[in-house]
Amino acid sequence: MPTMVAETARSKENRTPGVWTRLLHRPLALIGLAVIIVVVGAAALAPWVVPYDPHEQFFEGLTIEGAPLPPNSQFWLGTDLVGRDLLSRLIYGARTSLVIGVVANGIAVVIGSLVGIAAGYFRGWVDTVLMRFTDLMMAFPALLLAIVLAAIFTPSLWIVAMVIAMVNWVQIARVVYTETRSIAERDFVTAERAMGAGAGRILFRHILPHLLSTIIVWATLGIATTVLLEATLSFLGIGVQPPIPSWGNIIFENQTYFTSAPWLVFIPGAAILALALAFNLVGDALRDVLDPTQQGRH
């Protein structure tokens, strides 16, 4: 028995570097991972890396006509319509977008996974109730439902995160439900039931491990969707409210200067696009690496 335990431990240790090795051999995944590390690092170190207070208004940050300054040696990304440093607000805005992305998507993944596993395994009335409720939620356009919920509650950082989580869990619930039904019908699950194994053992020892790759991939890809949805809500004025900076409300505040100062819209828009694309690249690579059917194909 000790020998078997030792061999199992060694096999786990050997598998872990293999996953990272396959992931690190994908150039696009490395690019996405580098972007994520840079954004997360800048957001975490924001108080120490920003050149100015993101709320400070500079008289020299506006032209004589009162227009924002373009990128220059003092303000690297220029200033906004009230003379605030755009780079400082962009870095602090990354904090807001990442917090909402991680928190909202984490809640959505947990809710969706629990609903999908319960409905897919227990079937019967549990399946009917949970999946019909999921279908009802999917019948509403996600953005429209988020707008309605955000308008009902007083917008704040955590309210926006909860609103996004409430509209984003349905997709992963559907995916997990379908996979759980498929796994629950396999021979090894049937054999476990015949041997008297309880639902808890089957779910945690046999079904959940097969779902982990799907859940991890959806958790990664979902952050990109969440960041985009937060930016959309903030752009519409019902997301995170000023003076708290977020990439969406930076665009919202400066949209009137789109033609005369396009960097005020283009730069935060490019940041949103880059972060969403980075999470998509990493999520796609994780799907290939963690899916056992893909191993050996690359």
Angle at 189 between CA 184 and CA 193, to 5 degrees: 115
Q: How far apart are CA 29 and CA 31, in angstroms?
A: 5
Cα(147)–Cα(167) distance, integer angstroms: 10
> Tens-of-pLDDT digits for all 298 residues of the chain?
444 444 444 444 444 456 667 777 788 889 999 999 999 999 999 999 999 999 888 888 777 677 788 888 888 998 888 889 999 999 999 998 888 888 999 999 999 999 999 998 888 888 889 999 998 888 878 778 888 887 787 777 888 888 888 888 998 999 999 998 888 888 877 787 778 777 777 888 888 888 888 888 888 888 888 888 888 888 887 888 877 888 888 888 888 888 888 889 999 999 999 999 999 998 888 887 776 555 544 4
pLDDT for residue 292 = 54
The full set of domains in the chain, from first to last, is 23-53+75-294 (1.10.3720.10)
Q: What is the dihedral of CA 122, 118, 214, 270, to 10 degrees?
A: 150
DSSP 68-99: BPPS-SSSTT-B-TTS-BHHHHHHHHHHHHHH
Calpha distance 223→142 (Å, rounded): 15
pLDDT value at residue 109: 93
Residues 6 or more apart from 171 whose CB is under 8 A from it? 112, 138, 218
Q: Which residues pair with 62 in a beta bridge?
A: 68
The pLDDT value given to residue 64: 65
